[in-house]
Amino acid sequence: MDASTPAKPDASEMAKPDASEIEYSPYQENTQLARYIEDYPRSFRRNPSQPFIERPLTLSELTGPLALEQRLPLTSHDLAHLTPNAPRAIGQYIEVAGRVMDEDGAPLAGCLIEIWQANSAGKYIHEMDRHEAPVDPNFTGLGRFVTDAGGRYKFRTIKPGAYPVTESAWWWRPPHIHFSIFGPSWMNRFITQIFFPGEPLNETDLLLNAVRDLEARHRLIFETTPTVVAAVNFLAFQRDFVLRGKHRTPELE
Amino acid sequence: MRAGLPASPYCTIGPFFPGAFVSGCEDLTSFQGKQARGQHILLTGRVFEEGMRPILNAIVEIWQPDANGIFGHPLDPRFEAADPGFFGWGRARTDADGRYSFRTVLPGPVLQGPVLQGGAGAERCPHINVMLLAIGLTRRLVTTVFFAGSADVRDPVLDCVADSEARARMLAQRDNSRNGSGDLPVYRYDIVTRGASETPFFLD
């Protein structure tokens, strides 16, 4: 496919001489999901009762695994075809693209991204998925890529379906794609889920609505792109990610 | 005042993290066909929620230096001497007993070097960074496991934990009662997310 193939980074390329000048602050709570969500199974039982402990950031926390593609095999950028000539998975063919950057807006090159998602019927390939929806033999819903020099990623897949949370009497998860991103340090190892715009189930989702700040909540939703109506064979969505970390600024005299 | 773009919101890993993304990541004892230097160990334990109920299907990730205390990362002043047979990162999934296991190496003490202001030259005790993801957790839980013989040892991160019983819960315990696969020395480290014997977690 025509998605740009990211250049393979090596550790020296990622070795920013000023890496020690990146500072990390704790996540700002108003930009994040609440930790405790009433009605969310196990939310109470699993969240610590004691306050989180402040610690200095040492070499150990400021480093992290680089060039993970040496350890974790990458996949094709087209999840909708298991092989180039295989039948396309059932569902709405979509393209998802975006950039990974730090809090300064600087692109983060060489970040490994893992994605996983349900098929168009809302079924995961996973032993824990007991929802009685059909498996699509032409879809596994797994992808693994590396961001290019501009911090960009791009992949094609099918739009995932909604599915019920089987331990809940009412909760249906709206369509979403899971993202796992390895930033340049242990401090910005990042996991999230991104939702689709205009989905009625977005209104009742316990997770999406656990971000109280509306602007922050919208950072969990794909944006449609100008090509959403211009491309003939897929719908296009976009989502940029900001990983924690910014350059130290000199203190004012 | 902190300006800049706001960090993207974290969200839970949920129940369906692919097994294919975990398989093989529990073994850190070789990399690119080379055996890791140093003492290979089995780091294993159970993960519990409130009431000491085991957590099934949690994802545990670790990041650690090699047997000489060197990180495979260019910020480490000794990076050039890092073990080429050791990658330093691993991932495991807990089973129905809440059990995870890593085959890894006993980490060496970390010399931080001049890169860190405030911590210049300070040494850190052998330790492994741990993060926990699971249903019910909207963000990762972050802690550190230490391999010191006693909780009296000095370490700038361990020293942030004031309560001595809580400090003790951050030490991996050598378990002589059982052998690991291939007779590796076994170190046991349990994680309790909530309850009387709760693991200390760091502000993240």
Domain ranges of chain B: 19-192
> Is residue B191 less than 8 Å (CB to CB) from chain A?
no
Contact at 8 Å (CB) between A155 and A3? yes
Taking 60 as the threshold, does the pLDDT of residue B60 lie above it?
yes
Q: Is residue A252 part of a domain?
A: no
Interface pTM (ipTM) of the complex? 0.94
CATH number of residue A51's parent domain? 2.60.130.10
Architecture of domain B19-192: Sandwich (2.60)
Name the residue in chain A with its Cα closest to that of B108.
Answer: A60
The tokens 């009412």 sit on which residue? A170
Q: Is residue A51 part of a domain?
A: yes
**Residue % of chain B over a pLDDT of 90:** 83
Would you call A163 a catalytic residue per the annotation?
A: yes
In the predicted model, what is the mean pLDDT of residues B141-151?
92
* Domain extent for A218: 17-247
Cα–Cα distance for residue pair B149/B174, rounded to 1 Å: 9
| 3-state helix vs strand vs coil in chain A, percent to 5 | 15, 25, 60
Q: Which residues on chain B are in Cβ contact (under 8 Å) with A82?
A: none
Domain count, chain A: 1
Beta bridge partners of B129: B63, B144
Q: How many CB contacts within 8 angstroms connect chain A with chain B?
A: 249
Residue B100 C-alpha from the chain's centroid: 12
| Contact call for A103 and B7, based on CB within 8 A | yes
Q: Is residue A135 part of a domain?
A: yes
Classify strands B127-133 and B59-63 as parallel, antiparallel or unpaired: antiparallel
Q: Is residue A231 part of a domain?
A: yes
Q: Is residue A10 part of a domain?
A: no
Predicted confidence at residue A186, as pLDDT, reads 97
Cα–Cα distance for residue pair A152/A147, rounded to 1 Å: 5
Query: Mind telling me how many Å the CA of A232 is from chain B's nearest CA?
Result: 31
Residue ranges of alpha helices (H) inside chain A are 11-14, 43-46, 59-62, 214-218
Q: Which residues on chain A are in Cβ contact (under 8 Å) with B72?
A: 11, 65-66
Average pLDDT, chain B: 92
| Contact call for A178 and B17, based on CB within 8 A | yes
Name the residue in chain A with its Cα closest to that of B130.
Answer: A186
Contact at 8 Å (CB) between A41 and A165? yes
First to last CA, chain B: 19
Query: Mind telling me how many Å the CA of A207 is from chain B's nearest CA?
Result: 7
Cα–Cα distance for residue pair A213/A218, rounded to 1 Å: 9
Predicted confidence at residue A18, as pLDDT, reads 52
Task: Choose the weakest-confidence range: A232-246, B11-25, B125-139, B176-190.
Answer: B176-190
Predicted confidence at residue B181, as pLDDT, reads 56
Predicted confidence at residue A1, as pLDDT, reads 37
Query: Mind telling me how many Å the CA of B185 is from chain A's nearest CA?
Result: 24
Q: Is residue A29 part of a domain?
A: yes
Classify strands B40-49 and B186-188 as parallel, antiparallel or unpaired: parallel
Predicted confidence at residue A253, as pLDDT, reads 43
| Contact call for B135 and A41, based on CB within 8 A | yes
Classify strands A189-195 and B99-105 as parallel, antiparallel or unpaired: unpaired
Tokens encoding A29:
């709570």
Residue pLDDT, tens place only, B100-138: 999 999 999 998 765 555 554 568 999 999 999 999 999
Classify strands B127-133 and B123-124 as parallel, antiparallel or unpaired: unpaired
A105: left (phi over 0), alpha (psi -120 to 50) or beta: left
Cα–Cα distance for residue pair B14/A33, rounded to 1 Å: 14
State the catalytic residue, choosing from A81, A144, A152, A173: A173
| Residue B182, burial from CB neighbour count under 10 angstroms (0-12, 13-18, 19+) | exposed
Q: Is residue A65 part of a domain?
A: yes
Predicted confidence at residue A9, as pLDDT, reads 44
> Is residue B15 less than 8 Å (CB to CB) from chain A?
yes
Cα–Cα nearest to B14, from A216, A106, A27, A115: A115
Cα–Cα distance for residue pair A3/A9, rounded to 1 Å: 18
Q: Is residue A189 part of a domain?
A: yes
| Contact call for B129 and A14, based on CB within 8 A | no
Mean pLDDT (10-residue bins), chain A, 253 residues: 42 48 91 94 95 94 96 97 95 96 97 98 95 96 98 98 93 98 96 97 97 96 77 88 88 51
In the predicted model, what is the mean pLDDT of residues B145-169?
92
Residue ranges of alpha helices (H) inside chain B are 164-168
